[in-house]
Amino acid sequence: MKKLSLFFVSLIINASVSNAHEGHWTAARPDGHAPISVMGDHMHAMGEWMVSYRFMTMDMEGLIDGSSDISPSDAATKYDIKMMGMTSPMMLPKTMTMDMHMFGSMYAISDKWTLMCMLNYLDNEMTMQNNAKMESDGIGDLKLAGLYDLARWDSGRRIHLNIGISAPTGSIDEKKSDGSILGYGMQLGSGTWDFHPAITYLAQAENYSYGAQLGGIIRTSDNDRGYTLGDRLEAALWGARKVTDSLSASLKIDYSSQEAIDGEDSALNKMMSTSNRPDHQGRDITTLGLGLNYYFQDGGLKGHRLAAEWETPLNQKVNGVQLELDSIWTLGWQYAW
């Protein structure tokens, strides 16, 4: 985290002395948006709308204990996982896939304020060590945010504040086929009103752009099932290079740290699986992302933007025993007018 913080500071210092770009920062170029996985990265001029759709798929496979691989049998022995009174790894997770459809809109009520709304639809599938499958799907939490312009400079730099909240529209009562409650990671929302603050810095030169975002999620209370998801810190650094007037390529380093769950759902059997244990939730992870942005400059698709990004972990450390993140793909479409 210390190295990441130093990188963040050095990026801002370097951008502050850059004068390679004349005029204000603009979104009307292929690298005018951050990589597609970054939310709330840009603002709009007064009266401008933008709608967007993103599809994200995340794959997890294999168990890690902290930052080290661990076999299911060793995990069951170490953490006293039992079925029918006997040590057994059968209900430990084996793989998980999460698909998320993200629908968003933005509208600038002034040159200083842009409003943003996002709603997700999730589809989760987890396979256990005994090959039993668990599924959940439905609407996630609704996020509302205001982006406030803090400063803009003629050298292609700007900085804005993100002030967001999420409403608990996602279910925390998802159940297995036998009627018992699913584990924490298979639920669709937090069950609480959450605060989403962030600050975003952007800079452009003639043929490249770069930016940084520091933010997080602050939980406000226990939910109706007696627990609170851990607070989350997020930091992202990225750079993009124009390949043509319509195409750009990007590189991103992303860091997130989420605390373990506070409290617990009394309906979950903690002896059966680490997925049911609140102290086995949350992780620190750093990922590398490679992306492409294509911006239609002319014709009938003018103003439309297509983007793709692939992310893979550089390192990760989990609380207790959890599935290891393998990869994340994000595909997106945006249209502004």
**pLDDT per residue as tens digits for the range 70-81:** 999 999 999 999
**pLDDT per residue as tens digits for the range 97-124:** 999 999 999 999 999 999 999 999 999 9
Q: 220: which residues sit within 8 A by CB, 6+ positions away?
A: 192, 193, 194, 195
The secondary structure of 258-323 as a DSSP string is: EPPPEE--TTS-TTT-GGG-GGG--EEEEEEEEEEEEE--SSTTTTEEEEEEEEEEEEEEESSEEE
- Residue 303's Cβ-count burial label (10 Å; 0-12, 13-18, 19+) is middle
Q: How confident is the model at residue 85 (pLDDT cuts 50, 70, 90)?
A: confident
Looking at per-residue confidence, does 40 or 10 come out higher? 40
Please provide the average confidence, as pLDDT, over all residues in the chain. Answer: 93
Q: How confident is the model at residue 93 (pLDDT cuts 50, 70, 90)?
A: very high
**pLDDT per residue as tens digits for the range 226-254:** 999 999 999 999 999 999 999 999 999 99
Question: CA-CA distance, 248 to 101, in Å (whole number)?
Answer: 24
Architecture in CATH of 2-336: Beta Barrel (2.40)
User: Residue 91 — φ and ψ, nearest 5°?
Assistant: -100, 15
Q: What is the dihedral of CA 240, 243, 245, 250, to 10 degrees?
A: -20
- What CA–CA distances, in Å, run from 113 to 18, 64, 91? 26, 43, 49
Per the CB < 8 A criterion, the answer to whether 67 and 281 are in contact is no
Q: Which amino acid is residue 242, in one-letter code? A: K
- Map out the domains of the chain as residue ranges: 2-336
Which has the closest alpha carbon to 124: 100, 93, 92?
100
Q: How confident is the model at residue 335 (pLDDT cuts 50, 70, 90)?
A: very high
Which has the closest alpha carbon to 231: 281, 268, 164?
281
Per the CB < 8 A criterion, the answer to whether 116 and 196 are in contact is no
Task: Report whether pLDDT(312) > 50.
Answer: yes
Chain centroid, CA 207 distance in Å: 28
pTM for the structure as a whole: 0.91
The secondary structure of 80-141 as a DSSP string is: T-EETTEE--TTSEEEEEEEEEEEEEEEESSSSEEEEEEEEEEEEEEEETT--EEEEEEE--
Question: CA-CA distance, 104 to 119, in Å (whole number)?
Answer: 7
Question: CA-CA distance, 166 to 194, in Å (whole number)?
Answer: 5
- What CA–CA distances, in Å, run from 219 to 23, 72, 259? 40, 32, 11
For 292, other C-beta atoms within 10 Å of its C-beta total 18
Per the CB < 8 A criterion, the answer to whether 34 and 238 are in contact is yes
Q: How confident is the model at residue 23 (pLDDT cuts 50, 70, 90)?
A: confident
- What CA–CA distances, in Å, run from 161 to 132, 164, 196, 209, 213? 45, 10, 11, 19, 10
The secondary structure of 34-47 as a DSSP string is: --TT--S-----TT
